Amino acid sequence: MFVLGLQGSPRKKGNTRFLLSAFLEESRRLGANTQMIEVCQKKIDPCMEYVLCEKKGICPIDDDMKHEIYPLLRKADVIVTATPIFFYNTTAQLKALIDRSQTLWARKYKLHLTDPNRKWRRGYTLAVGATRGKNLFDGLHLTMKYFYDAVGAEYVGSLTYREIEKPGDMERHATLRDDVQAAVATLLEPFQGRKKILFTCRENACLSQMAGAFAQILAGDKLDVLTAGSQPAEKLNPLMVEAMQEKGIDMGFRQTASINAVLTTEKPGLIISMGRDDTAVVLDGIPRELWNFTAPEDLNAARRVRDAIEARVAEFIKGMA
């Protein structure tokens, strides 16, 4: 279970940061891996309406959004967006990130691609504002509703605080701890008790990526899916991406990872080796299965292996039940 926190305040010791830190700490206590992105320290240019996203599903702007944030938004099971209210909405830095999620919107609504984790991912909002106005968070909620829709997450709730102005105000808030505890328990509840499975192959560019995607699509509510390779490639195999795309499955912005790196933070209950080349990796104590697929050499082979993996994953899930 991976919880991504987007910290939208420019203040390093501000109220938003304190609130999000408490939220992520509680998430870790309940078993999540977490990462906080300091949005104001990232290079995220505003959307320039190049509209390439609507044609090709990519944004030509070369910045942290492309290299770091899109992949994290895809990887997350839960996205927690935290912001101070600036003029009834998010900070400008966070708004730039939100506007750039238009690329993910375009992949969903223009290219009709489905991110494998979309059905299960959840979005949550944290916000603070100095004043007491009844409508203080209305603008933010609307923005967040469409942000979460674009990135493929269900907007399930928020914690918002009025009359929070100076650094330290949030820390002194009487109900903060109880609020966070209750909110995180409810938010993470669907992810508790999922079986953690790691799919591996040599490069983590093709077979294990396909298996991971099908496992998420078919049983993301029961499986916490990880993928990795013994010698991870730099990029996904384009044949795999194309073959999956033909079925409407969006593999965009997924990254490869090394088995050793994944195992430093994750303890899978089962490892499934997809090919023959990663069998040398030592994985002590964790049960293993070998599925023996062969990486495809051309698009037709990629289509065949895609369908065979889908069937094998479906059979595996049936067996679990």
How many residues of this chain bind ligand FMN (CB under 6 A)?
18
Task: Please identify, using beta-carbon distances, which residue of 1 and 96 lies nearer to ligand FMN.
Answer: 96
- Cα separation, 30 vs 15, in Å, equals 23
- Residue from 1, 3, 9, 61 touching ligand FMN (CB under 6 A): that is 9
Residue closest to ligand FMN (Cβ): 14
Q: How far apart are CA 209 and CA 204, in angstroms?
A: 6
Distance CA 205, CA 199 (A): 11
Site for ligand FMN in 133-162 (CB under 6 A): 136
**C-alpha to C-alpha distance for 150 and 191, rounded to whole angstroms:** 22
Residue from 54, 88, 149, 176 touching ligand FMN (CB under 6 A): that is: 88
**Which one among 71, 167, 190, 238 touches ligand FMN, defined by CB under 6 A?**
167
Distance between CA atoms of residues 252 and 164, nearest Å: 39
> In this structure, are residues 90 and 142 in contact, taking their beta carbons and an 8 Å threshold?
no
- Residue 176 amino acid letter: L
Side chain identity, residue 229 = G
Site for ligand FMN in 199-238 (CB under 6 A): none
Q: Which among 14-22, 94-102, 146-154, 191-199 is the span making contact with ligand FMN, rule CB under 6 A? A: 14-22
CA atoms of 252 and 288, how far apart (whole Å): 28
Q: Which is nearer to ligand FMN, 138 or 246 (CB)?
A: 138
Work out whether 16 is an interface residue with ligand FMN (CB under 6 A). Answer: yes
Q: Is 127 helix (H, G, I), strand (E, B) or coil?
A: strand
The tokens describing 169, both together, are 């105000």
User: In this chain, which stretch among 6-14, 24-32, 224-232, 281-289 interacts with ligand FMN, using CB under 6 A?
Assistant: 6-14
Question: Is 86 or 105 the residue whose CB approaches ligand FMN more closely?
Answer: 86
**How many whole angstroms from its chain centre is CA 226?**
12
- Of 106-114, 128-136, 175-183, 226-234: span binding ligand FMN (CB under 6 A): 128-136
Q: Which of 5, 123, 129, 252 binds ligand FMN (CB under 6 A)?
A: 129
Question: Does 15 sit near ligand FMN (CB under 6 A)?
Answer: yes
Using the rule CB under 6 A, give the single segment among 10-18, 55-63, 183-191, 253-261 that binds ligand FMN. 10-18
Q: How far is the CB of 129 from ligand FMN (least distance, A)?
A: 3
Per-residue HEC secondary structure of 41-104 comes to HCCCCCCCCCCHHHHHCCCCCCCHHHHHHHHHHHHCCEEEEEEECECCECCHHHHHHHHHCHHH
Under a CB-based contact definition with an 8 Å cutoff, are residues 239 and 206 in contact?
A: yes
- CB 127 to ligand FMN: min, Å: 8
- Considering beta carbons, is residue 159 or 201 the nearer one to ligand FMN? 159
Smaller CB separation from ligand FMN, 131 or 186: 131
Residue 173 lies near ligand FMN (rule: CB under 6 A): no
- Applying CB under 6 A, which of residues 1, 6, 14, 215 lies at the interface with ligand FMN? 14
Largest Cα–Cα distance of the chain, in whole Å?
Answer: 62
Shortest distance, position 181 Cβ to ligand FMN, whole Å: 21
How far lies 14's CA from each of 17, 96, 244, 285, 313, in Å? 6, 20, 43, 44, 46
196 SS3 class: strand
- Taking the complex as a whole, how short is the minimal distance between the CB of residue 21 and ligand FMN, in angstroms? 11
Residues that bind ligand FMN (CB under 6 A): 9, 11, 14-16, 84-88, 128-131, 136, 164-165, 167
